[in-house]
Structures are given as structure tokens and as C-alpha cells.
Amino acid sequence: MMSFRWEDARFRRLAFLALALVMVFLIVHEIFGEHGYLALRHRRRELETLQQQVKQLQEENKKLEEEIKALKSDPKAIEKLAREQMKLAHPGEIIYVLPEKQSKPEATAKK
């Protein structure tokens, strides 16, 4: 039977190697693991993107609420909407509708 003593150089090297391997495994796991550093960075970027989207939607919601309020109480807002969307005009007015700008045509693929 073999006995291990701390004074034995082979035992110390083996213990050091085992400790080094465990440390390397833990470091790799901490960086690349499911809850590691890279996953944390990815989730933070996701969170920032979602927070920006929430802020943008809140601003859009606020504008729409103001528009609804104006359409319920302001006759000028109703008139403006009717003129823009339904092309309505007062008697004697002429409405000119310009064609919308077309996007640049895409180049055809060469065969």
C-alpha cells in the first residue's frame, strides 16, 4: 500500500496539478457558464434594449393620449385630421395632392 506524505515531491506536484485544474475549470465556468460573465453581459444588453423600447412606447402612448384628448375637445384638431386624411376642404378651396416619393429602384441582378 502506498502512503502519501506532504513532503513527497510527487504528491505535492499532483496536488498542485489537481488544484490548478480545478481553478481553471472554475474560471472557465465563471466566464462561459450559463450564469457566467458573458451571459450576464448579454442579459444586460437585452435589458437596456427593452428599457429603451418601453420608454419609446410610453412616449408614443402619451402622444396618442394627447391626440385623443384633442380630438374629443378641440374642433381645430378634428378639422385638421379631416383635411389630412379625408382630403376635405372648405367651399372654394382646391386641394393639390402630390405623388409620394418613390424609393430608389434596386439594381437587377446580373446573370
Per-residue pLDDT tens digits for 4-47 = 666 788 888 888 999 999 999 999 988 888 888 899 999 999 99
Strands (E), the chain: none
45-101 residue pLDDT tens: 999 999 999 999 999 999 999 999 998 998 888 888 888 888 778 888 887 878 888
71 contacts 77 by C-beta, under 8 angstroms: yes
What's the burial of 77, exposed, middle or buried (CB within 10 Å: 0-12/13-18/19+)?
A: middle
pTM: 0.52
Q: How many domains does one find in the chain? A: 1
Is 104 a member of any domain? no
Domain that holds residue 19: 9-86
Is 19 a member of any domain? yes
Amino acid at 42: H
Is 98 a member of any domain? no
